[in-house]
Amino acid sequence: MSRLDSMLRRLTAQRDGLNWAAAQIETLSGEVLDMGLGNGRTYDHLREVLPGRRIWVMDRVLQCHPSCTPPEADFLMGEAEPMLEKLASQGAPIVLAHYDFGMGIKAEDVAEAAGLSPLIARVMVPGGLIISGQPLVGFTEIKGPDSIPPERYLFYRA
């Protein structure tokens, strides 16, 4: 599979997974967390499918498309560990989290996701959902939408 086809497959899975998760949490109270702002595509989509929900966003730097810049009060800039600690100390009730950290080196990305998993657990409300491109630990893996091939995107319940 070409890198272009792989990217298209990943983005389609991401969109379908976010849409599915938004419907799943419709009756639950809480906020949303987007881990890894990048250029802001996912954040922009979350704003569209979850209007009225507070969406926390974190990344090492703010370098997104200008139309996708989160409000200053909702953007946590820096390394993930202290930013997750900050959210936990504030008692942010996260009902949906999207994990998209990574540098593209699989072994390192998997290790980082495993290391951050306990901190992610601290901000999640019971029954909340986590969608991730990397395997997380300490959560119950669940089946996502049928349109997403196994292992392409991962779905967890807190």
CATH of the domain at 44: 3.40.50.150
**3 state SS of 89:** helix
DSSP class of 146: T
Containing structural domain, residue 62: 3-157
Q: In this structure, are strands 75-77 and 55-59 parallel, antiparallel, or unpaired? A: parallel
User: What's the pLDDT at 142?
Assistant: 96
Check residue 13 and give its pLDDT: 92
pTM over 0.75: yes
10-14, 100-104, 147-151: which has the highest mean pLDDT?
10-14
Over residues 48-86, the pLDDT tens digits come to 999 999 999 999 999 999 999 999 999 999 999 999 999
- Rounded to the nearest integer, the mean pLDDT of the chain is 94
**Number of structural domains found in the chain:** 1
Dist CA 55 CA 69 (whole Å): 12
